[in-house]
Structure 1
């Protein structure tokens, strides 16, 4: 019986000690969690940096001749003679090639013979008309015969005019067998050889002629940059193959319509190329000095994030609480800085490298960082 009481006493003692130990453990754990909860997360913040923006715009450029023409035949025939080749400089009216057209030549001969024949008929009709005119005044012939001769003469004249017009048309077509340059330029393409059969309906041109004493420099400017470019802005053209060399270009014209697919507008500049040192078809880079913009705000690129498909930043308000704010970015987007057009002021506390666990209203401790 005594042993039973001892066992019961030991059991109750074990229960009391266990309860005490559990109490001490949970009390210490709660105190640790409370200490951790009361400790604020630290974030590094910067202020948006007001900047005077005067950096030039850079665009990829394509170079075209100031004038170009695809030269097709306007008559059928065979290439009798080719007088120029690619790279040749020609003047306006220079003979480039001559076609042989035996069928056309035969038609011209027939038309010339028809004109000579009709001229003889006109002379005969004129003589008969003059004779009838004299005889009708004396009453030797009837008035009806005079009218008939007069009509025959007029018909002969009209037929002669028609034959001459036909001959002129054929001669004009024959002149098309002489292929001439429409303006001063350089032959950049030649697609014929002596003996080739040429038709006026051919889809392939005989020659391509370009004028390159001036060159068109074409760039496609995004809508976001259009309003920062002035017509008298300084623009320079450069090529990767010519390091250290730039060419001054002048504003020429713009399309005045933004392309729906690309969101850009075509702008053209003129490059003086009197010595033909540069060739059409080159690709280069155009630098355009823009209007000076003041009060541009820049923030580090690592302060920008995307939330719900929009550019946004994480801010710390005056109560040291986290806020999310959407912003509109500008043209400068590099690995270092991003231009902010709206959504921020120079006094805002912007978090850089924001922790993904941050949430609106969260209390944080700010540490100033340097905005370079």
Structure 2
């Protein structure tokens, strides 16, 4: 009798579960494989997206680059007036701030001794004139007698010499009198030009000499100045000048006659002017050039010593300009993108900043070339497909594009 072993129910269930698990795994792998093939096919068929950009054109233009300088307002003329004759200053007619006209008396040196000297010389001239008349009559008589033979040739020569000597003495006396009269006139010092008194160094009673500055010590009179070397200082300020320093690198741009503007910040005013004087000497310490610009000042409102800033406008030069937003890269490696055959091509350029929105193209592009720009520009690389959009269309709201029938 044979015995047969029949599997139990638990063993049969276990085998059934194993079979079903294997089948499920195989099905899952099949599904995954099928899905992968479908994605690859979709990616292969999907077109590459284009980046929307704008275009900026390289445009010729004339550029005026102002040259900036700073400096100080100065008077058209400045003179320190001292005495013209040695003596005591006995009258000063003006105060600091006085506005005077040419020829107005300013101060006076005591002239008593000079007046006496003039009177003495006037009498010496009269004496010399009398001697001339006497010598002339003597010579005339000697000449007549010489013709008659009563006076020798030697006697005639003596009479002629006496006459010539008298004339010479008259000439000397006359010259001395003229000098003394001039000294008397010079005791009163007058304004050499229309101007304003800006300093007074001494008061009345000060002895001052014209010989090598002897006796020129200052007494610290009105105006509070000392060591000025004179009595009064006068300035001509109906015309003032802005003395401005500009960098030497700007010298080729500036010449006599270049138009400009002087800005005086403390007065909140600006004045049109031009280069009147261009100093040929360059300051070796500051590497700057001195430029002078005149300003009419009939009301004396502009005071010497004010700080001034000047802008000069040289002749314009022709440049190629481009939108600043079209330029990418670092300071040493600038570049732009151009569209060629629907893709972006990188082009190296050299630029200079003109203002916050525009650059000058120094090299790399020519007039009429078109560079890519717009907010999507940072998304572009070499070979990126691009789509050129119109700036006008981009600026039009979507509602405006809807057509009404």
- Which of 1 and 2 has greater Rg? 2
Q: Equivalent of 2:274, from 250, 261, 270?
A: 250
Which one of the candidate residues 298, 302, 316 is aligned to 1:274?
298
Deviation for aligned residue 1:150? 2.0
Q: Secondary structure at the match of 1:241?
A: helix
Q: Which runs of 5+ in 2 are unaligned?
A: 1-57, 214-227, 336-349, 367-380, 383-405
Question: Aligned-pair distance for 1:82?
Answer: 1.2
Alignment of 1:170-189 (within 5 A): 170-189=180-199
Q: Retained in 1: the 8 A contact 2:78–2:234? A: yes
Counterparts of 1:159-238 in structure 2 under 5 Å?
Answer: 159-200=169-210, 201-202=212-213, 204-229=229-254, 234-238=259-263
Aligned to 2:55: none
Task: Give how far 1:69 is off.
Answer: 2.0
Within the alignment, does 1:240 sit opposite 2:244 as a pair?
A: no
RMSD: 4.1
Do 2:135 and 2:166's aligned partners in 1 also have CA atoms closer than 8 Å? yes
1:331-369 CA-to-partner distances (Å, cap 9, x unmatched) read 99x9x99x99989999xxxxxxxxxxxxxxxxxx99xxx
The 2-side partners of 1:264 and 1:128 are apart by: 77
Instruction: Please state whether the residue corresponding to 1:161 is helix, strand or coil.
Output: helix
| Contact 2:71 2:243 (8 Å CA) reproduced | yes
Point out the more displaced range, 245-254 or 88-97: 245-254
Distance in 2 of aligned mates of 1:239 and 1:195: 41
- Which of 150, 166, 170 is residue 156 of structure 1 equivalent to? 166
3-state DSSP of counterpart to 2:77? strand
CA distance in 2 between counterparts of 1:79 and 1:247 reads 42
- Deviation of residue 222 (structure 1)? 0.8
Deviations 1:76-119 (A, max 9, x none): 11112211122112221111111114443343333223222222
Q: Which residue of 2 aligns with 1:18?
A: none
Give the C-alpha shift of residue 161 in structure 1.
0.9
Could you tell me which of 287, 292, 302 is aligned with 2:311? Answer: 287
Contact 1:238 1:247 in 2 (8 A): yes
Q: Given that residues 54 and 293 in structure 1 are in contact (C-alpha distance below 8 angstroms), is that contact kept between their aligned partners in structure 2?
A: no
The whole-number CA distance in structure 1 between the counterparts of 2:171 and 2:258 is: 62
Alignment length, in residue pairs?
286
Equivalent residue, structure 1, for 2:157: 147
User: For 1:165-208, what per-residue CA distance to the aligned partner results, in whole angstroms no more than 9, with x for missing partners?
Assistant: 12212222222211011111111122232221121143712222
Q: Quick check: 2:81–2:233 contact (8 Å CA) kept in 1?
A: yes
1:262 aligns with 2:291: no
Counterparts of 1:65 and 1:342, CA distance in 2: 44
Unaligned residue ranges in structure 1 (runs of 5+) = 1-49, 305-312, 317-326, 347-364, 367-372
Q: TM-score, normalised by structure 2?
A: 0.58
Q: Classify the secondary structure of the residue corresponding to 1:158.
A: helix
Counterpart-to-counterpart distance in 1, 2:171 and 2:321: 79
Per-residue deviation at 1:160? 1.0
Question: Match of 2:90, SS?
Answer: strand
Structure-2 change in CA distance of 1:340 and 1:160 (3 Å): same
Residue 108 of structure 2 contacts residue 187 of structure 2 at CA under 8 Å; is this kept in 1? Answer: yes
- Offset at 1:164? 0.9
